Amino acid sequence: MTPDLLKLLRSVDTPTVCNAIETAQGKRGFDAFTRGTMLCSAPDAPAIVGYARTAKIAAVAPPTEPPEVIRERRMAYYRYMAEGAHPSVAVVQDLDVPQAIGAYWGEINTSIHKGFGMSGALTDGVMRDLGDLPDGFPVVAGSIGPSHGFVHVREIGTEVTVHGLRIASGDLIHADRHGALVIPDDILPRLADAIETLLRTEKIVLEPANRPGFDFAAFEAAWTAFEKART
């Protein structure tokens, strides 16, 4: 991923990238995206873009392993998050879903991950401290709650599933208030052109639709030009 592509990806929303991937692939049917409604701690912030650093947590019940094992895994988790290639995104599956109660993503934890230089977090679990989360580190989460419960790390670097989306460590993530997706590696060389093409062709309909006097005749002409530009 080039610096120019990274800048472009951060400037557009996740639905645009979802459509652009289909443009790059030359067909409909791309399905590597989250399902259902997710919540974003900073809905007006730029999109989260980066390579996934994956983990699994649980919080409803206390851990059954010895405290020293839990602490060692926690430190291994933070080392793993800190040492990943940038840009990076923390992607954490909560094993308690749909009964998740442990707000892993609060003021302290988000500040730690931001300090590591990470771009944001994606989780099907819980976030809190919404008025105190640091700027520049959006969290896209499954829910909001007040408690951290008995939150502890269960797995590090394994494949996770967040709102129906399977994510492996190292996958390229794009996420915002709409949800998240995994960008296929093979379309990266064509993705910038696909995004620019998509934005350009959308204007064929959007510009007339926003002018005074827009009617069916104007729509029909714009839509004909729009379909021609897409083929």
> Does the annotation flag 73 for ligand binding?
no
Query: Are 138 and 44 within 8 A, CB to CB?
Result: no
Query: Are 97 and 125 within 8 A, CB to CB?
Result: yes
In 3D, which of 144, 54, 38, 56 has the Cα closest to residue 94?
56
- Structure-token pair, residue 224: 């004909």
Give the per-residue SS3 of 14-28: HHHHHHHHHHHHCCC
Query: Are 116 and 82 within 8 A, CB to CB?
Result: yes
Burial class (CB within 10 angstroms; exposed 0-12, middle 13-18, buried 19+) of 175: buried
DSSP label of 187: G
Taking the alpha carbons of 106, 107, 110, 116 in that order, is the dihedral positive or negative?
Answer: negative
Residue 223's CB is within 10 A of a number of other CB atoms, namely 13
Distance CA 23, CA 195 (A): 8
Distance CA 6, CA 190 (A): 13
> Does the annotation flag 128 for ligand binding?
yes
Q: Known binding site for Mg(2+): residues?
A: 129
Annotated binding site for substrate: 128
Binding residues: 128-129
